[in-house]
Amino acid sequence: MSSTDLAKLRFLYKLKSCYRYASVDSRHESVAEHSWSCLVLADCFISKFPQSIDRLKVYELLMYHDVIELATGDTPINPDIDDANKIDNERKNIDNIVKQLPDTFSQKYQDLFSEFLDQKTLESQFACAIDALDAEIHEMDYKQDWVGWSKEFLLNKKLHLFDQFPDMRQVFLELVDFLVVNNFFDH
């Protein structure tokens, strides 16, 4: 790897200071932190999945799934935020990310980005379900972030993401029940 490529690769390090809507103590969670927790969660669930699934592909999809936020910022699923144009906005900004990356890596990133958004492979669907579940697990420690949410909103936005993954679906539904019982939606 050349020094120029190494300098370009450092662009990805900016994920450490690219912040999401979610809380972490008295600050916001970084995209890098979210990507790491998605990888841990995927590792926990992937062995429970009975079908053949490419573990490395899932890890790569999760590692890079939110790099686009370096160009777009975080667009969380939230009742108070219109996310209708999120995917179009991300597709429009992919070139802004790709030109920042080393040439040897840019095509790989584009392929992973498209695969994650298109949701045509089992691995991308699994990664998307993990991404959705991670956000809700994370927010269990930050009840104040649930203001304006409802059980119906959460189920409408996310339940379909678990259709192919019964174990994760069950965990998600149990999580929703926990949120109801513990008054997360009563703000």
Helix H segments across the chain? 3-9, 31-46, 55-64, 69-72, 86-98, 103-118, 122-138, 151-158, 166-181
Q: What's the confidence (pLDDT) of residue 50?
A: 66
Instruction: Give the pTM.
Output: 0.93
Domain ranges for the chain? 10-144
Which two three-digit tokens encode residue 112? 């992973």
Closest by CA position to 127, among listed 164, 84, 175, 178: 164
Query: How confident is the prediction along the chain (187 residues), in pLDDT tens digits per residue?
Result: 788 888 888 999 999 999 988 888 899 999 999 999 999 999 999 988 767 899 999 999 999 999 999 999 888 787 777 777 888 989 999 999 999 999 888 999 999 999 999 999 999 999 999 999 999 999 999 998 898 899 999 999 999 999 999 989 999 999 999 999 999 997 5
Cα separation, 76 vs 137, whole angstroms: 15
Q: Write down the CATH superfamily of domain 10-144.
A: Hypothetical protein af1432 (1.10.3210.10)
